[in-house]
Amino acid sequence: MSPTGSPVVLVADKLDPDGVAILEQAGLQVRVNVGLSPEELIVAAADVDGILVRSASKITAEVIAAGKRLKAVGRAGIGVDNIDIPAASRHGVVVMNTPTANAVTTGELALAHLFSLARHIPAANASMHAGRWDKSKYVGAEIHGKVLGVVGLGKIGRVVAERGVGVGMRVYAFDPFLTGDCPVPGAELVNWDRLLAESDFITIHVPRNKDTTGLFDAATLKAMKPGSFLINCARGGIVDEDALMAALADGPLAGAALDVYATEPLPEDSPLRAVDNLVLTPHLGASSEEAQKRVSTEIAQQMADYLLRDEARCALNAPAVAAEEMVLLRPYVSLARRLGLMLAQVADAPLTRIEIEYIGRVATMNTDPLRVAALSGVLAPSLDGPVNAVNAEMLANERGLKVLEGHEPDSRSDFASLLKVHAFEADGTAHMAGGSVFRGEPRLSLFEDFGVDFAPRGHLLMTRHDDAPGVLGQVASWLGEAGVNIGGMHMAPSSDDDHPALALYGISRALTADEERSLTEIPAIRRARSLTL
């Protein structure tokens, strides 16, 4: 937080003024500092809570490490090639993008390239400007009835497929993650080989990753229909540029259009610039006035919602939760984290296994955020850096912490919803804490072997003691002498000598290890542990 208490957001790339206004109206402090060098960006990141970028600024591991307060990085657009997501995850920094804001604009650009290729519009335009009238040279082809192959049927791919159907094309779609009927009416899901062999136009709409880099190599291009056209408005590197130039020179391709490149900006001496039947545009996919405004306003609102309300929409490294769903989940997320915090601080040795039970109505909810919240609570006391929904599971995996879950929606529990977390030390020693939500607030309902009713917040003192007269008074006197106020208390009697009684005190500050040891000098106190939630 800034000295005034409000989060600070660095706008490192050009953002529409409406986006900046959303941040300011939400009460955030905004620093617009565009065009920073890598070294300057590292310095600028040191005292901000959020950074907003487009494609120019590179959010490297060094930038993220320098951001001691950094909680979120937002990309106004789809691609996040310029953000080191593994480094962000390790530091607990959420990375968000706007995957749908420029879908229409990018899809329409792909279709514009399709029409340009079919009718030789760029070449004919250049010819006219050169003073020629080459009417007979640029005989094109109708697209009606032609086969349009769409690779990737995400948001943008569906825009293209829908409009392809609308102009009378036969639309084939390939997407390895889809089965059954095609989600676009009038289009058909086909296999990879058929799409390559039968499509007159192929347009690419997949992300670049290890599976898609070089997807359109020499072998793939050779398998395409003779006289066909290829369009790439997705990501550079998906099409092998050397293989593309060969396929345009020697077949089978009649033409191609690129909006993205392996190296951007495209070098002045790139051989692509000399290929006559290749249409080139300078990464215009999201370059419409409408899209520029949408990506700016959407990412600004997402940043404000995360920094002010912990609502992460379109997060790439955290559980995806809809805003309306988060309203219901938020108190359970808080409960899960506090249960994890209690168990980690009660244990005498590192925990090796966590078992989470979702009982009743909570078992029917999206429990992913509850799992990571419980894990973040378990891990936080033993780690120096931030532990949150972004990095909790990664940190748990690195430490060999096993996690098991069980869902019992039809359980006949006394609670409409009950969340129970069991934690195990390496020697098998087990601890348990459980709770529910009452009037929107987390309540501790179970602890170790006892049924309790306590608000798990702030600083707590847990004692296990002999069930004898005067013990609670001795503890209260000790706390008073130590200058510690008691804000609330719950006591659960023992069932036998092997299970000493339990007391939970809400206290005004955490106790030191020496103070915990001093408390156990009271003869009836078998154990005392200060817990911070």
Alpha-carbon dihedral sign for residues 238, 241, 243, 248: positive
Q: Single out the residue of 288, 266, 264 nearest to residue 278, CA to CA.
A: 266
Angle at 188 between CA 186 and CA 191, to 5 degrees: 170
Active-site option among 158, 283, 294, 529: 283
Question: 465 catalytic, yes or no?
Answer: no
Q: Which of 40, 132, 142, 264 is catalytic?
A: 264
Strand partners, 488: 506
314 close to 499: Cβ distance less than 8 angstroms = no
Task: Report residue 494 as tokens.
Answer: 């023992």
- Cα 323 versus chain centre, distance: 14
b/e 207-224 (16+ beta carbons within 10 angstroms → b)? bbeeebebbbeeebbeeb
The region, left, alpha or beta by phi > 0 then psi within -120 to 50, assigned to residue 331 is alpha
Cα 108 to Cα 102: distance, rounded to the nearest angstrom: 10
Please answer whether residues 508 and 499 qualify as being in contact, where contact means their C-beta atoms are separated by less than 8 angstroms: no
DSSP code string of 287-299? -SHHHHHHHHHHH
Q: Which of 348, 398, 400, 350 minimizes the C-alpha distance to 378?
A: 350
CA distance 488 to 341: 19
Tokens of 211: 């599976």
SS3 assignment, position 205: coil
- Residue for token pair 């798990």: 456
Pairing mode, strands 459-465 and 525-532: antiparallel
The whole-angstrom separation of Cα 491 and Cα 501 is 8
Q: Does the active-site annotation cover 91? A: no
How many CB atoms neighbour CB 22 within 10 A? 22
Active site residue 490: no
| φ and ψ of 299, to 5 deg | -70, -30
Distance CA 131, CA 96 (A): 49
Q: Is 164 helix (H, G, I), strand (E, B) or coil?
A: helix
Task: For residue 83, give the DSSP letter.
Answer: B
Q: Which residues pair with 357 in a beta bridge?
A: 406, 420
Which of 75, 113, 205, 235 is labelled catalytic? 235
Catalytic residues: 235, 264, 283
